[in-house]
Structure 1
Amino acid sequence: MPRRPPLPREYIERVAEIVALLPESYEQDAWTGVRWRVRNATIVHLFGGEDQRFRLVFRGDPDEVVAFEHMGEPYFKAGWGTDVIGVVIDEQTDWDEVAELLTASYCLMAPAKLVAQVQPNP
């Protein structure tokens, strides 16, 4: 059985930089990879797959779920949860887009009081 690759420090740092702007978010080791949470809800999970590729999974609203299910690489709908979507990340990843997606995931998972503190993207 293939092993999961170690996460590149650069990917962890990039996600951490994005999530650090979200109130009361924090980083935590996951069963594999790293996840970021608000309260007890996961905002995003970064991990390496047995196929040696790296993925971010996060929450999406129903329209995003349908879109991600049909857009194809690098986007996908996860095989678990009704609102879990993701993106394969690599050297071509658009980190501005990732920031928007992770902010939206946060807004779906965080209490309204915290969501009200989120600064809109310039």
Structure 2
Amino acid sequence: MSDSADVPSETVARLRSVCLGMPETYEEPAWVGVRWRIRQQTFAHVLTIECGRPQAYALAAGTEGPATVLTFRSSGPELDALSVAGHPFFRPRWGPTVVGMMLDADSDWEEITELLTESYCQQAPKKLARLIDRPALS
């Protein structure tokens, strides 16, 4: 059921430029949408919710769609803040460190870059995470 065509190509391109700029990352089709990984760990996944599918994402995001969503990893105070921030953020029931974000024309790409950098650093081996210049989250 993998289909990256459902995600707007401009969105995939912007995410690709962020994610593939980090050491040893690669992009692959996920069961739905596209994901970016460091070794065997996913640190970013983008997909489109349509007609309430995929159901787990539609329920977590509170939408039947169409909507493009990005999931990533977070921890500590950032995870706590994102968990209660409300739109565009949501917390899926799977994975204690997974956060979702609705993407649209008003998405803050500087913030997305910061969040994906932190997600990468959380999933990457320490020696690779140390190579990253981590921007301070606002």
TM-score by length of 2: 0.81
CA contact (8 A) 2:72 2:100 kept: yes
Flag as ranges the 4+ runs of structure 1 deviating above 3 A: none
**Hey, what's the Cα distance between the residues in 2 that align with 1:98 and 1:17?**
12
**Hey, what's the Cα distance between the residues in 1 that align with 2:26 and 2:38?**
7
Among 76, 84, 87, the alignment partner of 1:70 is 84
Residue 92 of structure 1: how far off its partner (Å): 0.2
Is 1:108 matched up with 2:118?
Answer: no
Greater shift, 56-65 or 8-17, is seen at 56-65
CA contact (8 A) 1:62 1:83 kept: no
- Quote the residue 1:9 is aligned against: 9
Q: Larger RCO: Structure 1 or Structure 2 (Cα < 8 Å, ≥ 6 residues apart)?
A: 1
Deviations 1:1-58 (A, max 9, x none): xxxx811000000000001221000001000000000000001000011321001000
**How many percent of aligned residue pairs carry the same amino acid?**
38
Residue 73 of structure 1: how far off its partner (Å): 0.4
- Quote the residue 1:93 is aligned against: 107
SS of match in other structure, 1:31? coil
Quick one: which amino acid aligns to residue 48 of structure 2? Answer: G
Q: Which runs of 5+ in 1 are unaligned?
A: none
- Quote the residue 1:81 is aligned against: 95
